[in-house]
């Protein structure tokens, strides 16, 4: 059975969220505590959450930076 007695995640917006368009949020405190990074669409806060390892998240950040125009 899953543990449902956990505090709500505290989400942080991407540094690009103020630029409009497609933005993401992540939960850095949860990532620091567990090594798992929750990621969600900032426009759909009650939508699905992608859970990735810290290494996978670092790879996503590197990919996003490389694709920056």
DSSP3 helix / strand / coil % (the chain, rounded to 5): 35, 20, 45
Question: pLDDT tens across 7-63, in order?
Answer: 789 999 876 655 655 688 999 999 999 999 999 998 898 999 999 999 999 998 898
Per-domain residue ranges of the chain: 12-67
Does the pLDDT value for residue 1 go beyond 60? Answer: no
- Phi/psi at 51 (5° precision): -110, 120
């Amino acid at each position: 059975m899953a543990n449902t007695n956990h505090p709500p995640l505290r989400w942080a917006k991407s540094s690009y969220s103020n630029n409009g368009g497609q933005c993401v949020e992540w939960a850095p405190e949860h990532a620091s505590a567990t090594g798992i990074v929750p990621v969600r669409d900032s426009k759909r806060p009650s939508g699905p959450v992608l859970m990735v390892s810290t290494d996978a998240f670092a790879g996503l950040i590197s990919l996003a930076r490389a694709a920056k125009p």
